[in-house]
Structure 1
Amino acid sequence: MPTLTVPRLKERPNILLIMSDQHNRSYMRCAGHPYVRTPNLDRLAASGTRFTNTYCANPLCGPSRMSFLTSRSSSDIHVWNNGAFLASDVATFVHHLAVADYQTVLCGRMHFDGPDKRHGYERRIIGEQMWRAPSIPVEQLIAHTADYLELSGWGQTPWMNYDEQVTLEAERFLRSSDARSDRPWLLTVGTALPHDPCICPKVLFDEYHPQSRVPPLPNGYLDTLHPATRLWRQRAGVDDVPDAIHQSARAGYCGLVTFVDEQIGRVLDALSETGLADRTIVIYTSDHGDMAGQQRFWWKTTFYDGSCGVPLIVSWPDRFRTGATESCVCSLMDVGPTLLELAGAECMQQVRGRSLTRFLTTDGDWEPGPDDPVEWPDTAFAEKVYRPGMREPARMIRRGRWKLNYYHGHDRPELFDMHDDPGERIDLGADPRCAEMREELIAAALADWSGQQVLNFFERWDADRAVRDRFARSTQAGDDDAPDPWAPTGHVEFHRGY
């Protein structure tokens, strides 16, 4: 285990982990966004370190979160989609903290499917929200096609109500006697937003709508796309979406980011007001991003940075660097090992993540342990199988300045130079000048991954799922031993913004 020589309190630190849903990491003022207001995330970044090249392990809600918790890939834990269950015998970093005598408390969203709604959390003080709302068709919520973008504008949704309730419960915990007990705690605050539909409060929609135009694509751009990417766009129908709907959706998304930032501000204020801030590490991240109109594309499930990249801010004033930015390539799978090291807990075994502590402390305050690489690998992997209406296994590797996306069944990958082309507009996958780098990254991507093995797994999984679905319909079986999901409450309204 690495040696941490940074000065510490006698008490082990509390951990406040805030995870939003579907936050594009460039949509923060501290990340350089020209008009989105995020004053609370900005002050968190000013008091800590903001990582600029962090990736999720799968750009889809459930799989990303399960990889985050276990520090293992989708292929390691067989969780590739939102219908899959994380096996209860797989240890998470939350289990490790609980064994180290931390209170482990979940407040809000974590996308646990199946009967196990804990996976190491001792308490869950508000249940999972359900993606249902009056007047919003469920089939549009699931489809992620062009019709879905029409569900954008202003109003009040159950998901906004949910996040406000999550915030209230988090404030209550921080002001409770449990937060000041002798046992340190991990409080995970999970918001449902800024996940689509892109419907935000009217005052925010009106603020952002004039600034939220989505520019047209360059002439001929679609003809240059990799066949897999072109097929995704065709199935989603995004290339036929009118400018007015793009603008409405982007304004709604910007408003949701600011709405979430306001909830985060309330939680940070409660932490400060209770005198717990100097004893508490604060982490902010998201399960994946959203294209949010970049390249006139939307949602998640792609390897573009807007979708697969995530924000990551870590703060512990007076102990970590402040106002710092760190450009190392890293993964959400690195967060768990980092927290365990800082908590003095037992390390996770046979996992893919590595502690990020070396990037948090001042120069000379960290020494590598026997299992830590002296040089950071500067590499992150992601994988996925989901596309609208089909399954196509794919794997991404980001190493240094290069990103390669390997699509099973295609004769060439995508390849981007992220230094010269951060917008990922120029695909170098067939460029002979990049042949050596392309082959090196393909070999790394396929060294421990097989698209065919993923498809073989889904043949079995689909058959099992069909039986489980019939069982549920015939017996009306439910998760009776799990906490009740959060029931939508409060005022709901929706007005189209175009």
Structure 2
Amino acid sequence: MLDSKKNILILMADQMTPFALSAYGHPLTRTPNLDRLAKQGVVFDSAYCASPLCAPSRFSFLSGKLPSAIGAYDNAAEFPSQTLTFSHYLRAEGYRTILSGKMHFCGADQLHGFEDRLTTDIYPADFGWTPNWDDFEARPTWYHNMSSVIDAGPCVRTNQLDFDDEVTFTTRQKLFDIARERHAGKDARPFCMVASLTHPHDPYAIPQKYWDMYQDEEIDMPTHRDSFDEADPHSKRLRHVCETDRTPPTGQQIRNARRAYYGAISYVDDQFGAILEALEEAGLANDTIIVVTSDHGEMLGERGLWYKMTFFEGGCRVPLIVHAPQQFDAHRVSASVSHLDLLPTLVELARGEPPAAWPDSLDGHSLMPHLLGERGGHDEAIGEYLAEGAIAPIVMLRRGRFKFIHTPVDPDQLYDVQADPLERANLAFNAEYAAQVEAFRKEIAARWNLAELHQEVLQSQRRRRFHFAATTQGTVASWDWQPLVDASQRYMRNHIDLDTLEAMARFPAVAH
């Protein structure tokens, strides 16, 4: 049985591909804090998000369910309040659950099991970003275009820097508050805290300090920049949605974007380092399991694609590191796993064993055999994409050597990811692999009713577009989270004697 009731700290980045991290073999990026966690922890070399887009990925990460099971179709999909998240499960086990930073909750429920939420979100909570599969040719003006690449370079401030600096500050402050409260005997519960940054998500703009950590001549360029005609149908649609070929970046602009992205990764590492420093200074490090991941990847110009929204490796692979050296020996896991697996894993870590029965079905599997280095761990990742750039559901199965991508409106794609990590050879129409293709197609038919799912997505989009149009007439009521701060209880106030107040705030406490 595991040592249960350990604190859990989840450090989450946004759009951070493992292929740009030193811990995953990149020769250039400077990430000493992530490197240390990886050296001492369990590194998953083949981890995937359940959907290569912010909100659907995060909702699946929280719930252990595929997007279609919870209506998490796109970045303006409501996350239903009745959906159980790992925060609900851990609160039931006696944990304090805390969120600082981005989670992209849409709808009136802005907590989803978190007892405390320290910041607002960087993205809106309404339905304004709903895609429109009924009129695909009309690209949404609010969506990604190539300005992030064309305008890439150093900056002094951005709204993302403002946001992530706040996330780091509030996370550190909460760790110190927890330590002081424990010392005062106020709240001894273990905690599960999520610190979720928005970097290195585009736009690719980063302060001079981080820009100067890398030089132009060092920056690796995309291995393959496919022409529009060479691209598969979904990639062509993504290039339309993002205006990739209408406003193509120059070679120098591509280099600038990648350089700024690497700088943003080093910025993320510094923020994580500051949080880990506070964890150590608060005396909590030895009793805390640390999980590092990102919501999805980043294509960075490979194949002529940017951002995410694709099941090519750059878009859907994520870093996943579990650091608990007191419980798990450092090692690497080659089997494919998924964000869907984190909920059952976190619950088992909290309890010391899995529950006798789950109150709801899950699409993931516990990572415990992998963490313990035992035989019998699964080797499977499943994904769905139902948002911008699609015109019908796209599903992905990754098992063993192979990745299979299927949508009713496009030719199938089959890749031997081990032999062909850049996914240049589509084997779906190679007679030698006909049996694998047939087996994957049968599994998809058994797992999904794609025609029915297609209609559900269309109906949801139509409802939400009408909802947004109606509720933005007249007085607009916002769902955006407003952090609750009671100024009467902060710093020095007259309802507490000075010596008492100073003693409560000082950490470590002075011995008398």
Measured against the shorter chain, the TM-score band is: 0.7 to 0.9
**Residue matched to 1:327:** 334
Q: Distance in 1 between matches of 2:260 and 2:168?
A: 21
Q: Distance in 1 between matches of 2:257 and 2:433?
A: 37
**Residue matched to 2:85:** 92
**Residue matched to 1:357:** 368
**Residue matched to 1:32:** 25
Structure 1 moving runs of 4+ over 6 Å: none
1:388-427 aligned within 5 A: 388=389, 391-410=391-410, 412-427=411-426
CA offsets per residue over residues 50-89 of structure 1, 9 Å max, x none?
A: 1011111111100111111111111100111011111101
1:216: Cα distance to partner? Answer: 6.3
1:366-385 aligned within 5 A: 375-385=376-386
- What are structure 1's unaligned runs of at least 5 residues? 132-138, 364-373, 487-498
Q: Distance in 2 between matches of 1:40 and 1:141?
A: 38
Q: Distance in 2 between matches of 1:474 and 1:297?
A: 37
Q: Distance in 2 between matches of 1:281 and 1:99?
A: 19
Q: Distance in 1 between matches of 2:471 and 2:182?
A: 40
Are 1:314 and 2:322 an aligned pair?
yes
CA offsets per residue over residues 418-441 of structure 1, 9 Å max, x none?
A: 111011111112111111111111
Whether the aligned pair in 2 keeps the contact of 1:471 and 1:477 (CA below 8 Å) is no
Q: Distance in 1 between matches of 2:75 and 2:233?
A: 25
1:478: Cα distance to partner? Answer: 1.8
The structure that has the greater radius of gyration is 2
SS at match of 1:391: coil
Whether the aligned pair in 1 keeps the contact of 2:367 and 2:377 (CA below 8 Å) is no
1:375: Cα distance to partner? Answer: 3.3
Whether the aligned pair in 2 keeps the contact of 1:291 and 1:299 (CA below 8 Å) is yes
Are 1:192 and 2:203 an aligned pair?
no
Say what the alpha-carbon RMSD is for the aligned residues. 2.3
Q: Distance in 1 between matches of 2:294 and 2:148?
A: 22
1:146-161 aligned within 5 A: 146-155=146-155, 156-161=157-162
TM-score, with length taken from structure 1: 0.87
Q: Distance in 2 between matches of 1:342 and 1:451?
A: 35
Whether the aligned pair in 1 keeps the contact of 2:45 and 2:335 (CA below 8 Å) is yes
Q: Distance in 2 between matches of 1:36 and 1:434?
A: 38
Distance 1:195 1:480, change over 3 A: closer
Q: 2:101 aligns with which of 100, 104, 108?
A: 108
Whether the aligned pair in 1 keeps the contact of 2:31 and 2:266 (CA below 8 Å) is yes
Q: Distance in 2 between matches of 1:443 and 1:485?
A: 51
Amino acid at match of 2:448: W
1:149: Cα distance to partner? Answer: 1.9
Q: Distance in 2 between matches of 1:485 and 1:147?
A: 35
Are 1:232 and 2:243 an aligned pair?
no
Distance 1:25 1:446, change over 3 A: farther
Q: Distance in 1 between matches of 2:301 and 2:315?
A: 11
**Residue matched to 2:496:** none
Q: Distance in 1 between matches of 2:14 and 2:62?
A: 15
TM-score, with length taken from structure 2: 0.84
1:348: Cα distance to partner? Answer: 5.6
- Which stretch of the first structure deviates more once superposed, 243-252 or 347-356? 347-356
1:208: Cα distance to partner? Answer: 2.4
Q: 1:203 aligns with which of 189, 209, 232?
A: 209
Amino acid at match of 1:309: R
Amino acid at match of 2:22: R
Amino acid at match of 2:361: Q
Amino acid at match of 2:300: A
**Residue matched to 1:297:** 305
Q: Distance in 2 between matches of 1:141 and 1:462?
A: 17
Q: Distance in 1 between matches of 2:360 and 2:418?
A: 34
Whether the aligned pair in 1 keeps the contact of 2:120 and 2:481 (CA below 8 Å) is no
SS at match of 1:416: strand
**Residue matched to 2:129:** none
SS at match of 1:382: strand
Q: Distance in 1 between matches of 2:227 and 2:415?
A: 15
Amino acid at match of 2:283: G
Q: Distance in 1 between matches of 2:48 and 2:480?
A: 34
Whether the aligned pair in 2 keeps the contact of 1:283 and 1:312 (CA below 8 Å) is yes
CA offsets per residue over residues 90-115 of structure 1, 9 Å max, x none?
A: 11111011111100111111111111
Distance 1:112 1:481, change over 3 A: closer
Amino acid at match of 2:364: G
CA offsets per residue over residues 185-204 of structure 1, 9 Å max, x none?
A: 11110111111101011132
Are 1:66 and 2:74 an aligned pair?
no
1:106-185 aligned within 5 A: 106-130=99-123, 142-155=142-155, 156-176=157-177, 177-178=180-181, 181-185=187-191
SS at match of 2:257: helix
SS at match of 2:26: coil
